[in-house]
Structure 1
Amino acid sequence: MVLRSTLLVICWLFFQPTSSYRILVYSPTVSKSHVISNTRIAETLAKAGHDVVLYLPEYDKESGNIGSTLAKQIKLDVGENKFADLLKFNEEYVFSPSAFGTIKHFLQIPVTLTAICESIALNTKAMDELRSYKFDVAIFEQLDLCGAGIVHLLGIPSRIWLSSQSMMEQMSFFVGVPEPLSYVPASAEADLSDRMTYSQRCQNILIASISLAFHYYMATTTTNMFRRNFGADFPHLDKIAGDSALIFVNSEEFLDFPRPILHKTVYVGGLGLKESKPLDEKYEKLMNIGRKGTVLVSLGSIVKTSGMPMPLKEQLFAAFTHFPDYYFLFKIDKADSVSKELAKGAKNVQVVEWMPQVDLLGHKNMKVFITHGGLNGVMEAAYAGVPMITVGMFADQYRNGRAAERNGYGYSLSKKNLTTESVSTALNTVLDNESYKKNALRISRIMRTKPFRAEDRVVEWTQFLAEFKQLPELEVVGRDMGFIQYFCLDIFVPLLIILILIAFVQIKISLALIHCIYRRYSRAVFKVKPE
């Protein structure tokens, strides 16, 4: 009898029916790193048994070439657009920023992205195909809020707003997440840590305000497009996004700056991180050339090394040759013929157009990772326990580097000060100070052993939302308050005025009393006696 009951329980545990939900992951192909992160989310949910569609509007066709074996992919050719021009300017901007060119470029972004979004929204064939799935949940990226409008048009009841990096200013503002700028660095090109001087706090407030204003302008521009095409009552995109039941943040808590969050915030950073595999013969040989080890150098997929000015390349290669006991593997793009020529004259430098980054970082001879500070690369290095030197190029990369520096396993360099001396100093510091390696190994162990894997968070929260549709219990009233009410200025300002008035009256009374006493004392002292 006991055996029979035990078998029944085991059968129930293993063969109980599970709900399979239809899930849309909206991922515009703005960069390869974004698509990789979003694909991992789609794969994780598909592996859990759900019917997942990875929708890839092709802003940049090259970035969309990411394989997905479980989730169904739907790619949309958005036609001829100027996104390529934005990418081209970005390549130029990272190495030689021009104030006029930067302003002109940023003013062009809302126009370009809105035009692309319009082509997506008006593609009736693709929209009808997506509607036919009758999705239970939609996960959309934070880039330009076009995804919020598309999800609204599709009528998907449950929404998850996804940040492909740390929580950005517009996400915090629209959702109602507190963001004390006194110690939370802005994510938009702020090369700041969480311990700021007075002037740095001023800079942080200015950057965050400009970033928020820019994204609100962009959201309004795209909202107006939706209203032109789908009716004047179309909700503002920041309202659609802000009403999302959950917020997924593709950042690792232990790699980011500590900050306030809401109950609806779910950190999913580290999703899909894998153990390194043995290298093939070619790379294994390269990893064993340096007597003291190997240094890996990569500036990511968006930054093209072919656009790096010649003097800057010469400075970098000169710095590398100052460390003859280490071998440098430098990832370049195909068009970078200059670096190939410079490498011929450097005995300890090898340039490659592709490399198995995860496997290289996991090799025992890897000593330092010189990186642009992209979130994926930072997480891979931290997971492998490799100290890093970061050179932020744009967006959140500065912030990621400063966070690594704060926690003791990273050294942050400014792209404006990349010289042979500065790079050499950074390498000497990280290679000679054992604390960097010690802290890197500590963060690696934390990432590997912390409770609740990112995969479990993604699956279980998504399933939870699919079941309950909406989670109004997690909404904060603060996101609908005005500035004055939110900061209680309507209480503190009148109170301050009253206190000032009381102090003023007390001072006036005190002065009057002092004046009266002084007059009496003067009369008593200087009173003239009659003759």
Structure 2
Amino acid sequence: MKLNSENAEKSVSIIYKRHKCLRMIQNLRIILFCTVLWLPSIAKGANILILHPIYSGSHDLVLRTIGEALISRGHNITQIRFPQRNSRKTTAADLNTRVNVITLPIIDEDNTCSRYINDDGEFDIHSLGSVIWNKLDAPFKLPTDIYCSTHIHCKMILQDKRLYKALQASKFDLAIVDLIANECGLALARALGLPVVSFWGFGYQGGEVMYTSTWNPASIVPAFMTGMDRNMNFLQRSVNLLFYFTHAVLEYWQASISDIYIKESYPELGSSAQLIHGIDLALVNLNFFVDYPRLSAPNTKYVGPMHLKEAQLLPPKFQNFVDGAEHGVILFSLGFTGFLPHDIPRQTMDGFLEAFSRIKQRVIMKFDPKVLSYIPKNVMVVDWFPQIDLLGHNNTLLFISHCGMNGVSEAIYHRVPILGMPIFADQADNAIKLKDRGIGLVLDRHNIEADDVIYKIDQLINNPKYKTQVDRFADMWRDERFTPIEEATYWIELLHKYGNLDHLRINDGNLNLIQYLCLDVVIFWSALCLFLIYVTFTTCRRYWLRSLAELPLDPDFVNNNKKKQ
């Protein structure tokens, strides 16, 4: 017992020292934050704050791209983010950016979120790799303990008054809020009195979008993570409606947690739902080439993907490999988010490798060669490649992808058909849209057979309809009046100049669903009409019966009845 007690005390001491160290780092960064930001706050142009949730994934890069564009136009940009295990770059120098990057270590003082936050104060979901691969393709399969990160995030940014004072002293003019799972970041921006631009990197439905003015009827818009296209039969629409209800419950759960801390720190701001509905401008990092149209408010702007750019010259290693591909090149990438190569079943990768060994094209795989059983002669395996530059090369014929939105958009923009193998989150939605648009085909990750992979590769490369369609979309994309980043910059600067864009907002925030659909009006007037019809009928009936009763009886009729009796 004594030994156990000593071990426990040592463990508690280690945990305490770790949190104390992380707290000291955070304090130093806040002090540096105050010092660095005071100077730019007096410079010409807007002073803009970017706020991320505790896990931001690729949004971190996209919003820094916006920041770089705004800096080029004379604005000052500060990005507050949190460290991720899969990207340990924490400073502007590390990230090669002119944006003022403040990376705050995540402090889990009660150690209640150790499944997602490691000892270095980083958000780390790699322990869930096998779960992500096998299960996370539906909203009701999400692990419920993930909401511990919402508690920690809200505590960090709403209860830390030093952070608030540092931000207040920096005199920001506007905030860009990465909205997903970031109600507390939105509350912080409003507490600072800033106009808010929200950023959304998926199809504009589900999650926090449910509290905006955008309406996604289950009859015409497939719900997030359904993997269905928009041509739904009765059964599919029934399933779609079930998914909508599931998302509503999950968002209510997320918002309710955030509301605890918002009410405690800034009760005057109202609820998460009110804050989300009151956002001044929503930027959706998509284009309708890769998403379905929906009923959106005028202050919602599709401006993406904002990270798109033209291809540059390849590094020599890739240039030589691609230039020497007589029959073209296929790119293979499953992204960076959520899982590691060793989480993918061996039989899945063996299916791909067998298929690649039997085709005449060269293949560049972004993968870990150590977990592959063998590497065919026509395959190059690397841990990173310049994706946009490779997609833009004339010899690139096909992109095999997990169907993350950024990669899908890059491929379409650079005229490359896609063979999708969706894994989790919005990837199944993206994949089915590619198939529906005629620019891609889809593989089942749980059933990868070499013959099926070869057949679909052959279809996408040799059937001209796919290349024709992707070329058509790429040409239409380039014919748009503004680039995505120019469009985003225009709207951000417009909001900064005028302070609000209320003329673009729908005035529906005070209406419940019954009022929004005018069901109360329909019910009232229908009931009133039925009542009037009933009263009219009853009155006429009584009058008619009374008239009959007052009529004199015919004597012959009475005598005849008596004779019959």
TM bracket (short chain): 0.7 to 0.9
Alignment correspondent of 1:151: 189
Alignment correspondent of 1:7: none
Alignment correspondent of 1:319: 355
1:46 matched to 2:71? The reply is yes
Alignment correspondent of 1:389: 419
More moved, 21-30 vs 388-397: 21-30
Alpha-carbon shift at residue 371 of structure 1 (Å): 0.6
Q: Which amino acid aligns with 1:202?
A: S
Alignment correspondent of 1:15: none
- Length, aligned pairs only: 480
CA–CA distance in 1 between the matches of 2:425 and 2:238?
19
CA–CA distance in 1 between the matches of 2:418 and 2:371?
25
Is this contact kept in 2: 1:171–1:242, CA < 8 A?
no
Alignment correspondent of 1:128: 165
Alignment correspondent of 1:14: none
Q: Which amino acid aligns with 2:294?
A: R
Distance of aligned partners of 1:475 and 1:98 in 2 relative to their CA distance in 1, 3 Å threshold: closer
Is this contact kept in 2: 1:368–1:386, CA < 8 A?
yes
Distance of aligned partners of 1:68 and 1:488 in 2 relative to their CA distance in 1, 3 Å threshold: farther
Q: Provide, for residues 55-96 of structure 1, a one-character-per-residue CA deviation record: whole Å limited to 9, x for no partner.
A: 113354726557253221111112355434761354212322
Q: Which amino acid aligns with 1:337?
A: K
Alignment correspondent of 1:304: 340
Alignment correspondent of 2:496: 466
1:191 is aligned, of 213, 224, 227, to: 227
Q: Provide, for residues 96-155 of structure 1, a one-character-per-residue CA deviation record: whole Å limited to 9, x for no partner.
A: 2289x99685311222222233123333443322221111110101121231122133x1
Alpha-carbon shift at residue 198 of structure 1 (Å): 1.7
CA–CA distance in 2 between the matches of 1:89 and 1:397?
20
What TM-score do you get using the length of structure 1 for normalisation?
0.83
Q: Which amino acid aligns with 1:342?
A: Y
CA–CA distance in 2 between the matches of 1:465 and 1:142?
18
Alpha-carbon shift at residue 174 of structure 1 (Å): 1.2
Is this contact kept in 1: 2:155–2:261, CA < 8 A?
yes
1:33 is aligned, of 54, 58, 69, to: 58
CA–CA distance in 1 between the matches of 2:237 and 2:484?
33
Distance of aligned partners of 1:480 and 1:391 in 2 relative to their CA distance in 1, 3 Å threshold: farther
Distance of aligned partners of 1:231 and 1:269 in 2 relative to their CA distance in 1, 3 Å threshold: closer
CA–CA distance in 2 between the matches of 1:494 and 1:328?
66
Alignment correspondent of 2:251: 215
Alpha-carbon shift at residue 413 of structure 1 (Å): 2.6
Distance of aligned partners of 1:479 and 1:321 in 2 relative to their CA distance in 1, 3 Å threshold: farther
Matches within 5 A, 1:20-419: 20-28=45-53, 30-60=55-85, 62=87, 67-80=95-108, 81-82=113-114, 83-84=116-117, 87-97=125-135, 106-144=143-181, 145-153=183-191, 155-187=192-224, 189-228=225-264, 230=265, 232-302=267-337, 303-323=339-359, 325-333=360-368, 337-339=370-372, 341-343=373-375, 346-419=376-449
Q: Which amino acid aligns with 1:239?
A: Q
Alignment correspondent of 1:480: 510
> 1:140 aligns to what SS in structure 2?
strand
CA–CA distance in 2 between the matches of 1:328 and 1:246?
42
Q: Which amino acid aligns with 1:296?
A: L
Distance of aligned partners of 1:372 and 1:245 in 2 relative to their CA distance in 1, 3 Å threshold: same
CA–CA distance in 1 between the matches of 2:228 and 2:436?
10
Is this contact kept in 1: 2:54–2:153, CA < 8 A?
no
More moved, 78-87 vs 304-313: 78-87
> 2:470 aligns to what SS in structure 1?
helix
CA–CA distance in 2 between the matches of 1:61 and 1:241?
29
Alpha-carbon shift at residue 280 of structure 1 (Å): 2.5
Is this contact kept in 2: 1:135–1:156, CA < 8 A?
no
Is this contact kept in 2: 1:95–1:309, CA < 8 A?
no
Of structures 1 and 2, the larger Rg is shown by: 2
Alpha-carbon shift at residue 40 of structure 1 (Å): 0.9
Q: Which runs of 5+ in 2 are unaligned?
A: 1-42, 119-123, 542-563
What TM-score do you get using the length of structure 2 for normalisation?
0.78
CA–CA distance in 1 between the matches of 2:69 and 2:54?
19
Matches within 5 A, 1:400-439: 400-439=430-469
